[in-house]
Amino acid sequence: MKFSAIIILFYPERPILLNNIRLLENNGWQVVVVDNSPQSHKSWLSSSVEFRHCPENAGIAHAQNIGLLLARQQGRDYAMLLDQDSHLTEHLLQTAKQRVIEAQSRYPDLAAYGPTIVSEFDGQVVRAKVQRAVPDEHGFLHSRQIIASGKIIPLAVLSDVGLMEDALFIDGVDHEWCWRASRKGFRIISDTQVLLRHKQGESRKRVLGMTFKVGSPVRLYYQYRNILILLRRSYVPLYWKVRNCVALPVRWVINGWCLEQSKERRRYMRQGLTDGLRKRAGRYRADQ
């Protein structure tokens, strides 16, 4: 079996990136790097790395699609999607290869396999509070969705499920693809035997006894807009719709009044609501 790893860059940290690439290549993974940064980072990389540059920042979905199509064209069987700030280990890379093949042998309808995510901020396993994954006797967890980083896709399923949705640009891309795969009868699995340290958001903020993820202000635009876009779709789980309808006003208060850059955050949230109602997708533009 042939494996590719697709790393998406946007102003990456050099030591983390190069260490991940070294581990991948030492463990037999072909590496594809798609760079959404304005300035190319190709000079950091060896000639063994397949490199593509999108200086206009085409979005994470488009960048992932570039990598997935390239891996499929080159005859790879599986492709792993990776964010630039995930921390790989030799154990993860060796074990994930074996376990995804085992998972597909047990569940031929597998669309995506992923590790258990460990938060970079507190070292705790990230678990859903609602719609928890269902364990089986083999150490696999049957899930509604898994995040993009560490997700391994058997490339043959792209013919049925399709690629990532470019128009969403960033937030919700990973979950939407999983829900679309489930609607077509495929299975989403994570693995208790493989752990991946991953940084979700840029920091954490505790307000009124609750901990909130803090990201850049512009991410609020995509979060609000894409929630309104996805709420209209029948295959999106009802629990997700209810949870986010409840969360939107809470996020408004926290981001708009309790965090730094609150005025800018309110502006992006307003524009996200406006464009979501208008079904306007794609990249955010200041002149829209």
The yes/no answer on whether domain 3-198 falls in CATH 2.60.120.580 is no
Secondary-structure percent of the chain, ordered helix, strand, coil, rounded to 5: 40, 25, 35
d(CA 118, CA 131): 19
Mean pLDDT score, 254-269: 94
Q: Model-level pTM?
A: 0.94
Which alpha helices (H) appear in the chain, and where do they start and end?
Answer: 14-26, 60-73, 90-106, 158-161, 173-183, 217-231, 238-253, 262-277
- Closest among 42, 106, 80, 248 to 9, alpha carbons compared: 42
Mean pLDDT score, 140-152: 96
**All structural domains of the chain with their residue ranges:** 3-198, 203-277
Tens-place pLDDT, residues 87-141:
999 999 999 999 999 999 999 999 999 999 998 877 788 787 667 889 999 999 9
d(CA 63, CA 166): 9
Q: Report the amino acid identity of residue 254.
A: I
Q: Specify the pLDDT at position 204.
A: 65
d(CA 7, CA 34): 6
Query: Which element (helix H / strand E) includes 144?
Result: none
Tens-place pLDDT, residues 15-51:
999 999 999 999 999 999 999 999 999 999 999 999 9
